[in-house]
Structure 1
Amino acid sequence: MLQNNMNTSDLVTGWFTTPSTTTEITSIVKFNRNYMKYHGYISSIICLFGVISNIVNIIVLTRRHMVTPTNCILTALAITDMMTMSIYFVYAVYFYIVTEPLDNYQHGEGWMYFVIVNNLAVITFHNMAMWLTVSLAVFRYIFVCHHVVANQWCSLNRAKLTIFIIVVVSIILCVPNYFLYQVKNLKEFYQPEINGTRNLTDSLNGYWIEKSDLVRDSPLYQPITFWIYGVIIKIAPCILLTILSTLIIMTMHQASIRRKRLLSQSNSRHNEEMSAEHNRTTMMLVMVVLFFVVTEFPQGILAGISGLNDVFFNEVYTNLGDVMDLLVLINSAINFLLYCIMSQQFRDTFKNLFLCSCVRNLNNGGIILKNGIHTNHYSTVKTEVTQV
């Protein structure tokens, strides 16, 4: 029986397999078929939350008093995450809810082109997000470990230049993926003379996605693309992020020991509060970085193995596609919660923008505090470049 299993198109990789008539069902295939019944609903909810939360992130992080080199990178990260989930939302609703992937649904040619565009766009945006996270870790490492030159090396202009370079290089790195697949009529997947499939072929009117002629003519093209994706886009950033996070945490620990000695001598409460806020901000950014590592590193390993072994790709990688998609979506949606939990400045700005609108415009834009005094909230917000 023909099964148009749309899970064979992974959100991150864009790999596709042709329809198959195999009757062998392994445990991992059973898991995949059971989970995909719920994947559309779960991923759609995460996408909706992620799109809204990242829009909020962009609004908050682009306020005038919030514009810093670090926040500039976080804003670019929010944009790429928002684009990733916006595109995937349409894909999840149509292929997992409206048509259901296990039904013998014959998709139109336009939807198949949408699948290709969807996957290529998501690959590109997610690659940008990966290297933006690396740049975020580099900037924070310089702030924490080389604070004397931090303002010079990590200026706002250099942050913008870094974002521009990442966007351009990411597009270039993803170019090999653009030539992997093509849309073909389902009838072309079968030969009527073999196994009496003439009646089946005559009844097929839909379209599917097949390897491109370039891939068929060049046997090394797809494995090399797998390795570019698995190593450069996944594994290399994860290794860099792990090293940088370790260095940041070690430096913070050493600084904490020195600070406790100094505070015991100076007994300065103000310095202690500033240091605590600085540490919370750094730990928040480290959490953002480490969450990327946890969700991305296994995918890089699996993609690297798939580049060497077609059987592993068909039997393991494609059947874990939905799970890997879910991890990517959670990673793209989680930052808002991390900001709210770990950054006082982000919480203050968020409350002022969205929760205090009912009392806005009183006293020329001030807000009413509990003691009845009118004041401007922004005058109390810290604006150091080492804070979010």
Structure 2
Amino acid sequence: MGKSDVIYDVVTANLTQILNSSVAGEGESSRSGLMEFSDWYANIHGYVSILVCVFGIIANFMNIVVLTQKNMVSPTNYLLTALAIADMLTMTSYVPFALYFNCLSTQDPEENHALGWVIYMLFHTCFTITSHTIAMYLTVALAVFRYIVVCHHTHGPRMCNMQRTRLTIILVIIITIIFCIPNYIMYIPAKYSTAGGYWIERTSLVTDFQRNFYYWLFGVALKVAPCVLLSVLSTLLIRAMRTAAAKRRKLKSSGRHDDSERNSEHNRTTVMLVAIVICFVITELPQGVLAFLSGINMRIFEEVYTPLGDVFDILVLVNSSVNFLLYCIMSKQFRGTFCRVFCSWHSRDKQLNGVYSCASTKTTGTQL
């Protein structure tokens, strides 16, 4: 079965499954419906995930290009750019992993994997946990910044400036890398068979207690805690949007249509960011709860968390890919800038005929 970059311990998942399959008396009848579904989905997961990753890599590349245009520069867009880079790195690493371990081979040590692929499996697991955790806490930072801007108009621009945004991104990256160091030292490649195949084994540096404790810490600090923060901030932002909607209606009734339009664009940006936050919560919270419970009871890891590994993977990959669609749907400025950058060839043809084109569209309203 294909296991994920977001599962805390891809290696233990496979070793556990292999160990369980060797226990005497365990037959097909003892397998749960969840495990049967996992086996079925594993057959198509590699192909589905590669398609999602290709779309996501292209979409995030376009996000980065659009969000770094001069007219798009803002603290919020700076965070969104860093988020797009983290998501793109996660999916870029996943493509070779899925191609080999899901499409061309399986995560079965009996297949005599080459040393290079086993090393890549370990690198991929650690790297994607790190990059995806960075993306998650950048989303938390994004929600915090937006809350300050929306709910504290006078202090928002001063507190959420570009300098503090850059500092926030740097701190998130450094702290996440330090926190994920245990992942990098927990397993090493080792010779598995006399036929020359390699697999992985646990290092003597990590005890069972340390491993279970890190499960618990991973579930709480890297999954549940940010999801709780995002849920609270989403609630606060939704309340702020309701207040803004009431203010917009008041401005319209008093004839101040320009102020009302600016307030409306500001509100659409907040709605878009809340949608991004909610997508993260829906994807990450179930994983965090199961990772936490796995640290308490390993049977949960073996019987629930491991079989759902590929499902969690595809949810994370989809979540990393949808931001582009959200920007296009909810941000007038993003759409206008996207057309100006990527549809310039079309606009030149139209302009030669004196026809208005999307590239000549002037973006209006506030920045994201």
Q: CA deviation at 1:56?
A: 0.3
In 1, Cα distance between equivalents of 2:339 and 2:345:
9
CA deviations over 1:188-216 (Å, ceiling 9, x no partner):
xxxxxxxxxxxxxx6x532222222122x
CA 1:369–1:342: 2 relative to 1, 3 Å: farther
* Paired position in structure 2 for 1:207: 198
CA 1:370–1:158: 2 relative to 1, 3 Å: farther
The answer for unaligned runs of 5 or more in structure 2 is none
- Structure 1 stretch 349-358 or stretch 79-88: which is displaced more? 349-358
* Paired position in structure 2 for 1:75: 81
* Paired position in structure 2 for 1:88: 94
CA deviations over 1:287-309 (Å, ceiling 9, x no partner):
00110000000000000011111
* Paired position in structure 2 for 1:307: 295
The letter for the 1-side match of 2:96 is V
Q: Does 1:144 align with 2:150?
A: yes
- Structure 1 stretch 22-31 or stretch 43-52: which is displaced more? 22-31
In 2, Cα distance between equivalents of 1:377 and 1:151:
30
In 2, Cα distance between equivalents of 1:250 and 1:370:
48
In 2, Cα distance between equivalents of 1:321 and 1:313:
10
Q: Does 1:332 align with 2:327?
A: no
* Paired position in structure 2 for 1:166: 172
CA 1:26–1:271: 2 relative to 1, 3 Å: same
CA 1:150–1:273: 2 relative to 1, 3 Å: same
Q: TM-score, normalised by structure 2?
A: 0.91
2:363 to 381, 384, 387: 381
Higher relative helix content? 2
In 2, Cα distance between equivalents of 1:131 and 1:16:
25
- Structure 1 stretch 295-304 or stretch 305-314: which is displaced more? 305-314
Q: Do the aligned residues in 1 keep the contact of 2:252 with 2:260 (CA within 8 Å)?
A: yes
Q: CA deviation at 1:377?
A: 4.0
CA 1:127–1:106: 2 relative to 1, 3 Å: same
CA 1:260–1:76: 2 relative to 1, 3 Å: same
Aligned-residue CA RMSD (Å): 2.2
Q: Does 1:368 align with 2:351?
A: yes
Q: Do the aligned residues in 2 keep the contact of 1:50 with 1:85 (CA within 8 Å)?
A: yes
In 1, Cα distance between equivalents of 2:356 and 2:132:
46
* Paired position in structure 2 for 1:221: 210
Q: CA deviation at 1:92?
A: 0.5
CA deviations over 1:248-277 (Å, ceiling 9, x no partner):
11111123223313321x222222222221
The letter for the 2-side match of 1:244 is L
Q: Do the aligned residues in 1 keep the contact of 2:138 with 2:169 (CA within 8 Å)?
A: yes
Q: TM-score, normalised by structure 1?
A: 0.86
The letter for the 1-side match of 2:285 is F
Where 2:201 maps in the other structure, the secondary structure is strand
The letter for the 1-side match of 2:11 is F
Q: CA deviation at 1:101?
A: 4.6
Q: CA deviation at 1:102?
A: 6.8
In 1, Cα distance between equivalents of 2:277 and 2:145:
12
* Paired position in structure 2 for 1:120: 126
The letter for the 2-side match of 1:53 is A
CA 1:306–1:34: 2 relative to 1, 3 Å: same
Where 2:196 maps in the other structure, the secondary structure is coil
Aligned residues: percent identity? 43
The letter for the 1-side match of 2:162 is L
* Paired position in structure 2 for 1:250: 239
Q: Does 1:318 align with 2:306?
A: yes
Q: Do the aligned residues in 2 keep the contact of 1:60 with 1:349 (CA within 8 Å)?
A: yes
The letter for the 1-side match of 2:248 is R
* Paired position in structure 1 for 2:50: 44
The letter for the 2-side match of 1:210 is E
CA deviations over 1:339-359 (Å, ceiling 9, x no partner):
011101000011111113244
In 1, Cα distance between equivalents of 2:112 and 2:136:
35
The letter for the 2-side match of 1:246 is T
Where 1:74 maps in the other structure, the secondary structure is helix
Q: CA deviation at 1:100?
A: 4.0
In 2, Cα distance between equivalents of 1:343 and 1:373:
21
CA 1:373–1:339: 2 relative to 1, 3 Å: closer
Q: Does 1:355 align with 2:339?
A: no
In 2, Cα distance between equivalents of 1:50 and 1:208:
30
The answer for unaligned runs of 5 or more in structure 1 is 188-201
* Paired position in structure 2 for 1:184: 190
